[in-house]
Structure 1
């Protein structure tokens, strides 16, 4: 009687349930694989969405746009506009450098429901002209009592000293070298440091979330134009802008998560497929028996699919819980139930499809075996028609037997090796990324591209000097004598000198306080190559021509771009009087041009033109000092001593920049290490499953070999050799594929301007991976044979299943 004659649905389900209950070892590996893949994908998805959600919540009560230098009338008009939901005003006064920290004086309104300005941890906002609110950490730093009512005296850049009473403590977020000193509205109107400072308007727009990025920018610029606020006075909140649709970075992050998720699912497919394949091979005789009593091929496939679904229903919830818990702990501020539910549904569907794809081939294999073939099945997969050896005898040893077993089960060995190799290659790619990232080069890719130490003018000095930067340059402390002092320090390789002149320029109705850089005839040759021009240095100096840099930023700030032929009026102060000259735009540098100076501005003029106007003024604005690597710290200490002798100078170090870079890459490298650890775990899990299943299904074969004279030691050596051969193939595949893939990955990244990436073979990662692959077969074989020894040899021969 066929199974379909009765309640076959229940019988098939019952058989699947019994199989799941009975095969605990297989179930453990499959459950572990499913839970691991689900938990990692869930964590990655929820963590990425959590970061974005946390970001959105942080900007939820921030201003959408800042309008600088506005009048009281403009403030009133903005407050009445239908498009505006909230307006707050503030003033920013002088900033003062004190030792190694900065004091920033400002007036700002207290936070309200819609707009978060500043929060107090204790006390109240200053109301009177002589009241202030400061961070409590500032009082601790200067050794004052950390309590309300403390008197603070400040000496401003104009030399005046004023005393204030602390009425409130500002809420602090992390460590900072900049301390805010918040003053009252009365002081903003009447105080010496703020009364002449124009207001800044912090504005929120009605229904701003409904805009895309382009629409939002158009809206806030149109609003500014409506009330006579110039384009250059508009500063959109980029933090809020990133939360709107159209952000390319958000799209890149989403694509990255999807690609990594697909990679994880692919590895899961290989592992689950391998586990089910070995499980089916081990149960071929059982399937033959079921066929004998009337089970159809369709029902056998259905039974195996049912097993996969049952295991998924157990493994997926475990993985979802673990992944969600990890994401919550890692990003609590971004936790969102809606995102969690959507992710859980998506991951469940994806992993179910993964499992069904994984077991499709093994199920087809199981259903294709006839009862007679099943009875004769030995597990060998060698091809029919293979020529037999002509030798009457061959030398047998444990290692030789291990090779023979691998050859006769070539398909199974290749499948395992490929699934292991894919994991190994992915692991090597992650390790190559970590090993190939030069944080030092990344730190040097910006302003520190010329040296480890930068010496420039103190911001205090620039603010207080009568003619700003030019006033310092008239008696420039960055003199040839000062440069020679630095060059004489042991360990200094070279001192790079860069020039800049402070100017005012007028073009297209805009009047801008700015500075200009200079170029030599040598630099012009490089710029000509970048622009595809053939400009002549002497001719440019004679005709008063210049080159435009960063034209895209001009467009962003003013809404228009410079074009070749445009006229620009530039006003210099040459030490005695203001000199105005008209220059013509002769060329425009491409946006990706690699600038030959750390701080190039928009207007780049020939050195000769600027010298003719500025006379003998030393225009040196910045020194960049490169050092011998082993003497970097000693040189830095000596330079700092020289800089501290002159209050007009300030110094920045690459060490500070490295610290910032390390903080940026810390999370990225942590993620890569986590992914690498996951991939290793998958590969080792696959190897472990293969070895254990292989030994358990061949228990009778091992007993037969022992019965004809093979010693326990020889049997152990044979099984161990099989595992090491499998691991060796994986190591070779990982070495070749991982190396080629790593080189390719680095080249692609360098093509996209990641010049700080260099290929370095991840030797230690590879050695650890290799050791694990070799040690596991040794440990597994010992453990399994320990349990084999508990059963008598005769019993092992008798029990073939």
Structure 2
């Protein structure tokens, strides 16, 4: 009787193999640690950056909602909440405006529970107290409290406010403070918010469909166009003019800033996972050749597949556990302490600091460990299956080389081989060594190429999509007319310097022209006077070829009633505060039975040749129903707006083509007999995807522009006015030009103040870059860490290929040494083996890889207008030098191994 002591035998065999494969296991240990750190760092850092950008966008907007339905009913609310692609929805009722004496504090609103908890609350920090429940309770922002002179608020303290509701109805109210919070919305672009209870709103009688709106959070993956189209399709509206205003979701915007799009993000994930897969798989694939010979013999004498797998697991258990432990430890140190510690309070300083900024994700770390162990298990299983298919003799002599029939060499070829020098023979010998397993060789080259190409694509996408490019694409200086203080109340009048387009506003043209000399909206007023324009363009250092000016005039439009039909009645409505009688009026004055004149001026914008060409190309590409030829020859006019037409209104725009359009100066009577008549050639929606950029100055959904050519404007017989300037300077001249422009504007604005005119606004790119230096530094650090980890993983893969090739060929190398190969010749052979991998990888990167980068460029330029492509030559050079360094180092570090006789 032979006692069955299989477990002990398995342990002994595993220990013997562990000692034999000590070098391989050390390399595998490092690869496991590098794989875990690479996955955790890249995905954790990317997720953290996306979350940080999302948090910033939400706090700037004051809401997580990206869509709003105006004048909503309860039925519409229920419809929206039932839609599968809507994450959250809530109702908001605007109650009025809060004032204290002459000081205007902000808006007062009522929110339902869903709107407060899921949509508005996430945009605030440092919340104290609770949302109002009782009739006299109120919650306000810290900024509103500061405006009231309250620096140390306490729950329940009394606040005396004047609330203006409806048509200037003022209510004196004594509230009790139920809570307060910190808001990050720009006071120059959005009013501060205060919230009251439902009981107080019911007392005021303000809960109605006229002032209710639904805040909507569509799916993060839906773009603005997709969400808008779907909502208009699924929500039954009360009339054709009821609008649904949609913007891109904050989360989608954050993803786009990092990767360009969801599709590119998914592709990046696949490439990174593939790179880590090859990193670990290659080690086991190369190193387990010797194990297959051993396992084949064991399998022949009766060892089962299950027992062989146990032996394999036990010999690798130590390196897997230690490698996983090191990977977890380094990941925690880098992501939990390292990156947030380096960034400090700078990355989100203006939006609450780094309290919510975290790049450490436990779920990503667990997934990284699981994925790494899965790769090892897959490689073990693959080699087990390969071993079982071999016979005893085949497994004993297994080298990984596929058996191929050898063709008899010709005498001439044999003689040529005999005449070759040893120096020429070594590269060929190295080539035969690396290609003895053709499938493995191809797989290794492709894995190296994949790792390098992933890094280069990541550098191109992240570098080109970096928000820094938004600022770099802006001109050195932007000049535009400013709003007067009276007009700024309740409108977005301050430039959003962080946006791609800083001059988007919710004001109208009347707000921009208000309070300029006369009550007739300043018919002769130019935001940028001719004298200022000439002085600036004449400054030494100004690059006139790269500087642009927007020209035109402010005039009242006179159009047929049909021509005005696509516009909602809300566009023409003027609030009663501008009316002496306090009654609702409209901004459309009928001049006769057919034509209607706008009550305030609109902008007649002269299209430059560049703009005209862009619009022609866009109209042809999108197959728009516009007659660009008529506009170009001066007979036609286009209406440009960002109002956001409803589907029904969009249909109307196609029906009004050909209607007559005339213009008259503000404050003058419309003379039908002498007025120049243009043809309305179509409407342009500035919110449409891929719409070409027009230099308009201030613009937004409440501004309408009439676009004419230079010939068309000459027909009006009036002087041009300059609305907007973009000034670029020659290299090294920025500071001198900045000082000169500021001196010119200081003098001009003082003159305008004395004469009762609005001043000129100046934006400097250098000031913006300086103000945003902390954010830019944080972006570069985060994106740089991702690139460095990819580079390190790629170089590790190459190092592993070089080292594991030696471990798997110890006996072969000893035999070659026994028959006379010198140490120097071995080094040269190893050099050429690594060099073949390196050269083929470089060829693939420079050919196929360059083509892939070009495709990435074309794709990204369509996804993000601010994308800047730059070939990553520096990164490629760094990779190449790193690989050559590894190649040289591995050859120089060669040491004579264990003596093995030829007979062994």
Same fold (TM over 0.5): yes
**Aligned match of 1:650 in 754, 758, 761?**
761
Note the C-alpha offset of 1:585: 3.0
Judge which range, 131-140 or 609-618, deviates more. 131-140
Q: Is the 8 A contact 1:87 1:201 kept in 2?
A: yes
The equivalent of 1:194 in structure 2 is: none
Does 1:499 find its partner at 2:610? no
* 1:772 and 2:882 aligned: yes
Alignment of 1:560-571 (within 5 A): 561-565=652-656
* Contact 1:554–1:561, Cα closer than 8 Å, also in 2: no
Distance of aligned partners of 1:783 and 1:200 in 2 relative to their CA distance in 1, 3 Å threshold: farther
Mapped contact 1:546–1:605 kept (Cα < 8 A): yes
- CA drift of 1:363 comes to 4.0
* Structure-2 change in CA distance of 1:317 and 1:559 (3 Å): farther
Aligned position for 2:422? 396
Which residue number corresponds to residue 284 of structure 2?
A: 276
Corresponding residue for residue 529 of structure 2: 479
Q: CA deviation at 1:490?
A: 0.5
Is the 8 Å Cα contact of residues 13 and 306 (structure 1) preserved in structure 2?
Answer: no
Are 2:626 and 1:536 aligned?
no
Partner residue of 2:446 out of 395, 415, 418:
418
Structure 2 residue corresponding to 1:26, chosen from 24, 27, 49 = 24
Alignment deviations for residues 590-620 of structure 1 (CA, whole Å, 9 cap, x no partner):
8444244334764424368986998646543
Partner of 2:899: 796
- Provide the rounded CA distance (Å) in 2 between the counterparts of 1:358 and 1:320: 22
CA distance in 1, matches of 2:834, 2:332: 36
Whole-angstrom CA distance in 2 between matches of 1:537 and 1:265: 54
1:597 to 673, 695, 703: 695
| Separation in 2, partners of 1:136, 1:6 | 81
The CA deviation string for residues 481-527 of structure 1, in whole angstroms up to 9 with x for no partner, is 22221121002232523225265784357343673333469566764
Residue 692 of structure 1 pairs with residue 803 of structure 2:
yes
| Per-residue CA distance 1:726-776 (angstroms, 9 max, x = gap) | 4444444434443333233324444x3656656644232122212211222
Indicate the residue corresponding to 2:345 in structure 1: none
Shift of 1:18: 6.9
1:262 partnered with 2:288: no
1:766–1:605: structure 2 CA closer, same or farther, 3 Å change rule?
closer
Unaligned stretches of 5+ residues in structure 1: 95-102, 150-166, 190-198
Alignment of 1:222-301 (within 5 A): 231=242, 254-295=262-303
Alignment-derived partner of residue 638 in structure 2: 547
| Residue aligned with 2:732, SS | helix
Distance 1:577 1:134, change over 3 A: farther
Contact 1:312–1:355 (8 Å) recurs in 2: no
1:622-771 mapped onto 2 (5 Å cutoff): 622-645=724-747, 646=749, 647=753, 648=758, 649-655=760-766, 673-700=784-811, 715-716=826-827, 718-720=829-831, 722-750=833-861, 752=862, 760-771=870-881
Instruction: Tell me the distance in 2 between the aligned counterparts of 1:696 and 1:82.
Output: 64
Q: Could you give the per-residue CA deviations for residues 75-105 of structure 1, whole angstroms, max 9, x where no partner exists?
A: 99999999997645454589xxxxxxxx984
Q: Distance in 1 between matches of 2:825 and 2:518?
A: 87
Aligned-residue offset at 1:586: 2.0
> SS where residue 262 of structure 1 aligns?
helix
Deviations for 1:541-560, whole angstroms, at most 9, x for unmatched residues? 4xxx5323358822379676
Equivalent-residue separation in structure 1 for 2:641 and 2:465 (angstroms): 28
Q: Are the structure 2 counterparts of residues 535 and 765 from structure 1 closer, same or farther at C-alpha, using a change threshold of 3 Å? A: closer
CA deviation digits over 1:612-657, x for unaligned, max 9?
9986465432222233233233223211221222153111234466
Alpha-carbon distance in 1 for matches of 2:875, 2:219: 49
- The structure carrying a bigger helix percent of its residues is 1
Shift of 1:385: 3.7
CA shift in 2, pair 1:26/1:617, >3 Å: same
Offset from partner CA, 1:31-69 (integer Å, 9 cap, x none):
55455545655666677777569769989986787688x
Cα distance change of structure 1 residues 517 and 668 upon mapping to structure 2, 3 Å threshold: farther
CA distance in 1, matches of 2:856, 2:261: 18
Q: Distance in 1 between matches of 2:336 and 2:28?
A: 26
Residue from 481, 485, 502 that aligns with 1:456: 481
SS of residue paired to 1:637: helix
Worse-superposed segment, 474-483 or 487-496: 474-483
Question: Secondary structure at the residue paired with 1:773?
Answer: helix
Q: Is the 8 A contact 2:281 2:375 kept in 1?
A: no
Relative to structure 1, is the Cα distance of residues 303 and 521 closer, same or farther in structure 2, using a 3 angstrom cutoff? closer
Q: 5+ unaligned residues in a row in structure 2: which ranges? A: 82-88, 133-137, 158-175, 201-209, 341-353, 488-510, 573-600, 621-626
CA distance in 2, matches of 1:214, 1:475: 39
User: For this pair of structures, how many residues does the alignment match?
Assistant: 739
Distance 2:762 2:652 in 1: 35
Counterpart in the other structure of 2:708: 606
SS class of match (1:411): coil
- 2:515 aligned with 1:515, yes or no? no
